[in-house]
Amino acid sequence: MRQLVIATKNDKKLYELRRYLKGISARVVSLKEFKHTPRIVENGKTFKANAIKKALTVSKFTGGLAVGDDSGLVVKALGGAPGVKSSRFAGSGKSDKQNNKKLLKLLADVPPAKRQAKFVCAVAICDNGKIVKVLEESCAGVIAFSEKGGYGFGYDPLFLIPKYKETFGELGLKVKDRMSHRSKALKKVREFLKKYL
């Protein structure tokens, strides 16, 4: 059985990706299983660029199959920000709470009709140092005026789905799994890898 390395040391991300990639004939591991791993600087201008950089670096390092992903929030009224800087929007090492606080502050005077946003997830698959597949998915919503719900992480408590009139933080995993940017992207990755492997 082949090994598939997820380009992360984050246990939450590994757990989530393992869940979505169930059924593929590969042993899914993270970078935590390796020593002296290369440092990956996420300095791409797009989610796709960062995903490719992660997967390519790890694939070259392991000489095998690797998956890299990058995702974040794109807010129309902020010209696409936070974008690729979603996790460090309020500054390096800041918490989800601080990122959300900054976002709410910047959108304080923006009316409900102009608070459109989307979550974007880009995934790259590389094998033996070569790119084999890159894809991107998104999920549309609006930014709420305050945090609601305890599910998920990051901007989930602010990301409102108009159809449900609830945030990802309120909707929970079952609904989020059906429509989120990451679930849509990873389901495609799973189907691709089933054929590829």
Helices (H), 63-167: 96-106
Q: How far apart are CA 11 and CA 34, in angstroms?
A: 14
The answer to whether residue 180 scores a pLDDT higher than 90 is: yes
> Which amino acid is residue 54, in one-letter code?
K
The answer to whether residue 129 scores a pLDDT higher than 90 is: yes
pLDDT, position 183: 92
Number of domains in the chain: 1
Least confident of 12-16, 58-62, 68-72, 105-109: 12-16
pLDDT, position 57: 97
Count Cα neighbours of 81 within 13 Å in the Cβ-side half-sphere.
13
Each residue's pLDDT tens digit, 54-92: 999 999 999 999 999 999 999 999 999 999 999 999 998
Q: How far apart are CA 194 and CA 197, in angstroms?
A: 6
pLDDT, position 12: 80
pLDDT, position 174: 84
Q: Please state, in angstroms and as integers, the Cα–Cα distance from residue 151 to each residue in 3, 95, 116, 127, 174, following that order.
A: 31, 16, 21, 34, 11
Q: Which of 11, 69, 70, 156 is catalytic?
A: 70
pLDDT, position 11: 84
Taking all residues of the chain, what is their mean pLDDT, rounded to a whole number? 95
Q: Is residue 127 annotated as a catalytic residue, yes or no?
A: no
**CATH number assigned to the domain comprising residue 50:** 3.90.950.10
The answer to whether residue 14 scores a pLDDT higher than 90 is: no
Maximum Cα–Cα distance across the chain: 55
The answer to whether residue 155 scores a pLDDT higher than 90 is: yes
Could you give phi then psi for residue 19, rounded to 5 degrees? -60, -45
Q: How far apart are CA 82 and CA 61, in angstroms?
A: 30
Give the structural domain span for 177. Answer: 2-196
Q: How far apart are CA 13 and CA 152, in angstroms?
A: 12
Inter-residue contact 97 to 119 (CB < 8 Å): no
8 contact partners, CB below 8 Å, separation of at least 6: 14, 17, 30, 31, 54
Q: How far apart are CA 56 and CA 191, in angstroms?
A: 20
